[in-house]
Each structure stands twice: as C-alpha cells, then as structure tokens.
Amino acid sequence: MNRRVLVTGGARGIGRAVVEAFAATGDQVAVHHGASRDAAEQLVAELPGDGHVVVGADLSDAEQVRRAVDAAAQALGGLDVLVNNAGVFMAHPPLTTLYDQWQLAWASTLAVNLVGAANVTFCAVPHLVSGGGGSIVNVSSRGAFRGEPDCPAYGASKAGLNAFGQSMALALAPQGISVSTVAPGFVETDMAREVLDGPGGDAVRAQSPFGRVAHPHEVAAAVLWLASEPARFASGTIIDVNGASYLRT
C-alpha cells in the first residue's frame, strides 16, 4: 500500500521538494500550508498520482493544528508518515533589537518551530499507531549546533526540536514509530534568497567546500530515506545536510 504522508509547510522550499519526492514514489500526500493556500493547491494539482490534499492551519494555534491533522488523516484514510518541516525565521540580533521586538521574535518562533511541531506530532501519533506504526521526520537546522547570532530564537527552536525528536524516538519505538531528524545548512529557498542574493551570498556559499548551498531536493532525499522502512532502525538520528560547512564531533 502506498504511504499516507503529511508534510507541514509543504507549499514552498524544502517542504515542496519533500512533497514532490513522496508523490514521485506513489505516496499520497497532505500538503499543509499556513498562509500559502494558492501555492499549496497549485502544487497538489501538479503532483503525479491521485488522492493528494491540502490542509491549512496556523501552527501556533493548537486547535487549528488538531483540526488540520485530523482532516489530513481523514482525507488520506490514515497516516503513515509525518514530516515536521514548517518553520519561521525572524532576525532579532540581541544588541540592536528593541525589547518588544525581541519578545515577539521569541514567542512567534517557538510557537511554530517547536511547540507547533510538538503539537502536530501529538495529534498525528494516534493515527500512526492505529495504522500499525510509521515514521516521523523533523526538519531542523545546522543553526541548532553552531548557533544563530542574529536569530537566537531560531537556533534555540531547532535545538529544542532535535531534543524533542530524540525524546519521541524513545517514547514511540514500542509503537513501531521511528522519529529522526534532518539538519540542513543554507538551502536555496525563498526564505534564504535575501541572504544568498545579497552582498554576503558568496561568503555563505564559501562555507561549504563544495562552494554552494544545498538544493531542496538534496534535503528531501534525506527525508525520504529516513521515512523508509530500511531506515526504521536509524530512529533517533540526526542527519546533517550542510555540504561539510559545519562538522559536529
């Protein structure tokens, strides 16, 4: 049976590449969006195969999360894979940001990147269990390890997501559910476009000995493998996809 997959933040960037990768294997995908309904609907219309659906939710709203996850499971007839990809990035350098802006950045970033992903996972688990198990893959960031000086809430949210994923890997293994993580560096997406096209773009590309940043499909390939049955025993792992721009010991 083809897998039933929910991808948060699936309309653009890494999420879009992940959706396309699953659909190309014959899986049915629920594409979640926050404020990009048109892009999500256009993507679903272009995907190969049938049965793909669009679900919308503000991931900072716990009740919207519950309704969206349940709607995805109902439309697909269950869930086998969850990909927590949605995320926000707000610059708030600590030495130049006003206190109210600092508070907003922290609250907004954690609400989506960490608490939102935790709530999506919580709501998806009963559907995965009822289907006999499955896979959860979280999309983290290199910034969880090397730090994000201009966006510390983002780095903290992704470090928290790593810890959350490993906790869930321990909790859910008895239910036949693997939980693993992909940690990209810079990726050629709309979210990174301003940096990559700006005066610092060449320096960012030079961080990798390949002299470039990742393409979305390269991150999607790692997600696809971690969600596969042969990768089940890799539960709890974090795979770096950063072109050797940052090496963990």
Active-site residue list? 154
Pair of tokens at residue 246: 């940052």
Q: For 181, list phi and psi in degrees, rounded to 5.
A: -140, 145
Distance from C-alpha of 129 to C-alpha of 76, rounded to nearest angstrom:
15
Instruction: List b or e across 144-183, with b for residues whose CB sees 16 or more CB atoms inside 10 angstroms.
Output: bbbebebbbbbbbbbbbbbebbbebbeebbeeebbbbbbb
